[in-house]
Structure 1
């Protein structure tokens, strides 16, 4: 959403509902004591919704939310992310080497951001009936709460498996145990069906989820439910049908592919027709800014970056040549003394992501890049829906139809690749999964596709021997999930069971 005077409510609500502590044990001190008087006012309900987004954004907080590369820590097992062998990247390396620790502090960004959003969403869902005002506007806020709660649980359940499941504003965080994965999916699916009913087809403010966003997210929830670990095969049909609803109604929702892939990563094209749900970062003083664009994804030795993340060599080498590859990766670095260094001669000997530079980097002098940026960070986009449909339809019908080919080929043609045809079912599905990996490279989604399709070991076995970070732990399903944070177990021993 665009920042307006509503942002004044964000800090008020964060102080009111969420304590300054990063740990969930502090939440009871901030719970609403008199919801009837508080939520009677529409402005307070709206403020809680603003706080919900602030939680997942990670406003003014380096240890919570999606604003920094730390949120991707648990996703470093995928082949589209790796990090440097030295320096302060140990927490990334734990997951990159499959040697995960329950004391990993960086993985807490995802945990805290999602749960802070959930706790605020619960307030809206539980108490919106008390609010006096235009019912359509109240329903819109309620729909947003259902969407964000499902969105947050989707990241949590795919990352940790069995997790604490808060669905009531009256539940104390210390009074809850871990819930089974299937129970979390039941809540997410119900939430998104509710969101479909309450959300409008379009929103007047940027960044707010619409009915189409709820359908898009639900299609991916169904697709994931059909794979590991639940393997609910019937959900492939549900995923295909829900994605098709988005595709068939793209004109109503305002969705479409941008003609040029490279434009997706330019600030002038933030919140384009391809963006289905994006977090809005627009405070350029650095407090509430986006910190992935800029130094985080730049080489330290050549461009004075931070070396947080870059791409594995095998993934880069297998990436199809063309316009999309050129826009996705940066292979030459301009040093402060005016020399150009090819990645093969760089300190890490890896290509880096070009996606995350615009708005924070002066390409005539990259060494002056900032570590914050005004950005709309896309977390769901239309290309992904096309690929979800293509895979789900082929699996549901045991054969790709013409619509599935069309969905896949829309993405391929935009990438500068030739359309595919005449593939066997397994070949088609493999092509879609590969395409999704290339299309969404570095966007934090590859890991989740690898685990739901149980392809982690296959991918890791083909890892280049030149990778600096070595795999030392199991790549089997026993090591797919991140460990429940030790700090949370100490606060609530029930989470250790």
Structure 2
């Protein structure tokens, strides 16, 4: 038997020999017996194969992680929203008592690593496709887009779990020569947070030269890469706020601007607009957006019920414009300790019920406020206030001034709360600014009393547990402290 044809070898996951296997498949499998493996430089042969891989990456934006979990994770764990719904797994999240067996945590791990694996297929194999009709420039563009998307998913993972495995190869076969490399990809150990950020930054900075133009709102464009770089440099353990300013400097030359009317961002009549940097195209074909029904409708109690804290924040600022676009009150057939049945609030930014809802991953106002945050950290209080005031002027609010670092961070955070509620940002904003425990411990009910379960929040609970199913299947994984 020739090694360059087939080999009998230990397979570390069922179906591992072909690139179509998902990372969630091989991160969830156990060793089985010897099995022949067909060896190949690449399982993909044509330009059409490459385009199919790219379509998969973008179709992945229609899965449950994006339609529900990303928005629940980002808001229901904060002062913006209560859990809503009646799912006990979601209750664990919103009450800071997640177990390692929580099925939402497990599925998000599988979604994120499955999407990373799909990106790896492009990064690893597109350059090896023999079809000469696939141009060198298109190959570079594909790899750049996949690198931005992989960086985005690793950014989500490192913020949720801290130290995480770095899987960079889509495994298609095992040989005597690559056994150790394959083992490390199939049964990966966790890597320190700094190493994860180093990969993220390398992916993004390496992609900048070849990503599509910023005018493309539905692809991992230059604007998307710059936005993510700014977020990453603001969030990593040793933030580099000068880099945040540098990358937002570049972003501000890419043709973005605030829409004059705030509600046009969400009315489904202004998609791919001037403020949009990267958005998911829920066009009813490749991505049918069912997620809207998770947040609005009176047929059952929906997720992400707007909090009393959020409504009081809008009212305290006199922010009627953003309040009307963010929250809708309806009579319902239930009540709870937060709201009466006669006027019950729903998250209102996702409101298109035809399946054609578009949602933002990055938009310009978010990055202006992140730039303001960086300027506060760098001591430029006047510059920071000017950026915040651009965002406030759109909704007819009076300008602010900033007098100190503490004052500036508090005011930027408040502005982000009002501007970005129900866009999946708040949990990560609170963690990034070091305000999570302080603000979460003061979450209130309808009577203004602190929520009893807010006392559960600790530094350890700012990270999720590694799913127990992953630890059971992978002897190289360790658990986060406190779980």
Distance change in 2, residues 1:439/1:416 (3 Å)? same
2:398 to 404, 407, 418: 418
Structure 1 residue 281: Cα displacement: 2.2
Question: Deviation digits for residues 131-158 of structure 1, max 9, x if unmatched?
Answer: 3322221111111111000000011110
Give distance in 2, aligned partners of 1:408 and 1:104. 38
Give distance in 1, aligned partners of 2:23 and 2:409. 46
Contact 1:100 1:482 in 2 (8 A): yes
2:380 to 399, 403, 415: 399
Give distance in 2, aligned partners of 1:51 and 1:214. 19
Structure 1 residue 476: Cα displacement: 2.3
Equivalence map 1:108-257=2 (5 Å)? 108-131=106-129, 132=132, 133-170=134-171, 171=182, 173-202=185-214, 206-225=217-236, 230=237, 232-233=238-239, 235-247=240-252, 249-251=253-255, 255-257=256-258
Give distance in 2, aligned partners of 1:79 and 1:395. 24
1:43 corresponds to which residue?
48
Give distance in 1, aligned partners of 2:24 and 2:387. 45
2:347 to 344, 353, 356: 353
Structure 1 spans left out of the alignment, 5+ residues: 1-14, 59-63, 337-342, 361-371
In the alignment, does 2:439 pair up with 1:459? Answer: yes
Give distance in 1, aligned partners of 2:332 and 2:430. 36
Equivalence map 1:52-91=2 (5 Å)? 52-58=57-63, 64-69=64-69, 72-73=72-73, 76-84=76-84, 88-91=86-89
Give distance in 2, aligned partners of 1:175 and 1:312. 42
SS in 1 for 2:476: helix
1:488 corresponds to which residue?
470
Structure with higher Rg: it is 2
Question: Deviation digits for residues 119-139 of structure 1, max 9, x if unmatched?
Answer: 111121122222332222111
SS in 1 for 2:305: coil
Give distance in 1, aligned partners of 2:234 and 2:439. 20
Distance change in 2, residues 1:290/1:455 (3 Å)? same
Distance change in 2, residues 1:217/1:472 (3 Å)? closer
Structure 1 residue 316: Cα displacement: 1.9
Distance change in 2, residues 1:374/1:24 (3 Å)? farther
Structure 1 residue 442: Cα displacement: 1.1
Give distance in 2, aligned partners of 1:49 and 1:308. 32
Structure 1 residue 165: Cα displacement: 1.1
Contact 1:218 1:242 in 2 (8 A): yes
Supply the RMSD in Å over aligned alpha carbons: 2.9
2:178 corresponds to which residue?
none
Give distance in 2, aligned partners of 1:486 and 1:473. 25
In the alignment, does 2:417 pair up with 1:441? Answer: no
Contact 1:314 1:462 in 2 (8 A): no
In the alignment, does 2:25 pair up with 1:25? Answer: no
Question: Deviation digits for residues 353-412 of structure 1, max 9, x if unmatched?
Answer: 12121x21xxxxxxxxxxx7212221111111101111112212x23243x333211111
Give distance in 2, aligned partners of 1:78 and 1:305. 22
Contact 1:454 1:477 in 2 (8 A): no
Contact 1:275 1:382 in 2 (8 A): yes
Structure 1 residue 185: Cα displacement: 0.3
Contact 2:325 2:349 in 1 (8 A): yes
Distance change in 2, residues 1:69/1:456 (3 Å)? same
1:267 corresponds to which residue?
268
Distance change in 2, residues 1:495/1:75 (3 Å)? farther
Structure 1 residue 105: Cα displacement: 1.1
Number of residue-to-residue matches in the alignment: 435
Give distance in 2, aligned partners of 1:259 and 1:444. 23
Contact 1:97 1:469 in 2 (8 A): no
Contact 1:154 1:221 in 2 (8 A): yes
Give distance in 1, aligned partners of 2:312 and 2:415. 14
TM-score (norm 2): 0.82
Question: Deviation digits for residues 277-298 of structure 1, max 9, x if unmatched?
Answer: 11222236xx9422331x3113
SS in 1 for 2:126: helix
TM-score (norm 1): 0.80
Question: Deviation digits for residues 41-60 of structure 1, max 9, x if unmatched?
Answer: 222122112222233431xx
Question: Deviation digits for residues 327-355 of structure 1, max 9, x if unmatched?
Answer: 11112x1569xxxxxx95328x7522121
